[in-house]
Amino acid sequence: MTAGVLEQRNPYKGTPPRAWLRLRLLAADGSTQDLDLLSDTGSPYGLIVSTTIMNGFKEKDASDVNSNYGPLTGGWLQVAVPAIGFDRLVIGYASDGLVAATQLSNPDFGGLIGLPLLQMMQYGGDAKDFWVRPAAAVP
């Protein structure tokens, strides 16, 4: 008997239908926040959330950047995707304007997950769903 594949599979949602991922932010005080993030493989920023979320979950500062989204405030965030056993400290950014833009597609979206963070996992999709799995082991 083989074990099932660890996977988070989400049907597209929004108008137009968009790929998305649910992740959990972990704060140093033990509090958590689950977020649905629009998936954008064209984004060079791993994670973009609201200023409020960044301020509540930032473990330490990271460099700010100017982007086509406008200024982004950097910070290190502890990110988990429990369904696949992912748990890492990653650089994220805050932009209330970008979060508002993602919510035009679906009000559930709390920001954006971009290519650098997605590349820490396997990801893909089909006609119905977007999925993530643990990164493949390197031989």
Asked if residue 2 belongs to a domain, the reply is: no
Asked if residue 128 belongs to a domain, the reply is: no
Element (H, E) at 56: helix 51-57
When the pLDDT of each residue in the chain is averaged and rounded to a whole number, the result is 94
How many domains, in total, are found in the chain?
A: 1
Average pLDDT over residues 70-98: 97
Asked if residue 39 belongs to a domain, the reply is: yes
Name the residue range of residue 117's domain: 17-121
Asked if residue 135 belongs to a domain, the reply is: no
Q: What is the CATH number of the domain that holds 88?
A: 2.40.70.10
Asked if residue 138 belongs to a domain, the reply is: no
Asked if residue 46 belongs to a domain, the reply is: yes
Kindly report each contact of residues 65-74 with a partner whose C-beta sits within 8 Å and lies 24 or more positions away, as own/partner.
65/93, 69/45, 69/95, 69/97, 69/98, 70/95, 70/97, 70/98, 71/95, 72/45, 72/48, 72/98
How confident is the model over 97-117, as pLDDT tens digits?
999 999 999 999 999 999 999
